Amino acid sequence: MEFCKAIEQFLDYLQFVKNVSSHTLRNYRIDLLSLEKFAFQEISKETLSLEALDRMTIRRYLAYLHGQKKALRTVIRKMSTYRSFFSFLMKKNILSENPLEEIDSPKKRRTLPVTLSYDQLQLFFAAPDLSTCLGVRDRAMMELFYSSALRLSELVQLNKNDIDVIRKSVRVRGKGNKERIVPVTHTAIEWIGTYLHHPERKSNEGKKDVPIFLNHRGQRITARSIDRHFQKYLKQSGLVDKITPHVIRHTIATHWLEKGMDLKTIQMLLGHSSLGTTTIYTQVSMKLKREVYDKTHPRA
C-alpha cells in the first residue's frame, strides 16, 4: 500500500472510530506528513510504499530531527504518533512487520509543575477590565480554571448546557473524548452567570451547541486567543512567573492537596487516567513537605 493512502486510512480511523479532536487529528497529520516528506527525499521514488519505510529510514529520520534541534517533547510526540500509526497497520494486517519494534523513544525529562501562591493568583485575577464584556468573560474563565482544574481544550469546548447551576457542576469532555462531571465553586458560577447575562455579550442562541465563551465576533473562543489574553494579563499584573491556563490547573491541584484532599479524588477531578501522573503534586508542595517533616521527624 502507498504510504499516503495508509495515512488517510489511519486518520479516518482516528476521526470516525476513535472520535479524536480536530486539534489532535491535525497534529497526527502534521507528524505523518513530516515523516512521509523525509522518506520521499531519502528513497527518491515517485510513490512511497509502506514496505520501503524500514527501520534504518526511521533511524535516519530521528537523526535528522536531532540535527534540526527539535525539542525533546516534539520528538516524543512524533514517536507516539508513529507508534499508533504502525500499530494500527499491524492490527489491520496491512503490515507484517513493525519498523518501530526495536526503536526506543527518547526519555522525557520529568519537570515539576509551575504553581502560584494564592496571593499571586489574586493579583493575576484582578487584571481584566471588568467594565467591559470581554473583561468579565476573561475573569469568568480564570475562576472556572481555578474552580475545576480544566484543561484549556476542555474549557474551549464547553457549551451552555454543560453547566448545571443547581448542582454546581460542569460536564467536561476530556482527552479521548472521555466525559466527567466536575464540581464548580459558587464564585465561578456567579462569574459565569454575570458574563452570560452581560448586555454586550453577542448572542448565538439559535445554534444547536451554544458555546459559553465567545470571542468579540460572537464565535467560540479559541485556545490561542485565551493564551494571548493570559500573556496580556501577565504583563499587566507585574508578575514575573509564566502564567498559562495549565499553570492554574497545576495550582489548584496543589492547593487541593495542601487542604487535605486525597490523591484519588484529585486524579478523578483532573481526569488523569493514571494515579502516577497525579502523584507529582506531592513533590511540588513545600507546605505539605514541611507538615509531613514536622510530624515525622523526632527532633522537628
Active site positions, annotated: 151, 175, 246, 249, 272, 281
- Cβ proximity of 78 and 34 under 8 Å: yes
Q: Which residues does 250 contact at the CB level (< 8 Å), separation at least 6?
A: 113, 114, 115, 281, 284
Tally Cβ neighbours within 10 Å of residue 90.
14
Distance CA 117, CA 179 (A): 30
- Cβ proximity of 191 and 146 under 8 Å: no
- Using alpha carbons, select from 19, 32, 153, 36 the residue that is nearest to residue 84: 32
Contacts 24+ apart (CB under 8 A), 166-169: none
The residues with which 180 forms a beta bridge, in sequence order, are: 172
Q: What do you get for the CA distance between the two ends of the chain, in Å?
A: 68
Ramachandran assignment for 260, one of left (phi > 0), alpha (psi -120 to 50 degrees), beta (any other):
left
Q: What is the DSSP letter of 224?
A: H
Report the side by side order of strands in the sheet with 163-164. Answer: 163-164, 169-173, 179-183
Is residue 172 classed as helix, strand or coil in its secondary structure? strand
- Cβ proximity of 277 and 266 under 8 Å: no
Q: Which residues does 102 contact at the CB level (< 8 Å), separation at least 6?
A: 55
- Cβ proximity of 289 and 272 under 8 Å: no
| Amino acid at the residue 272 | H
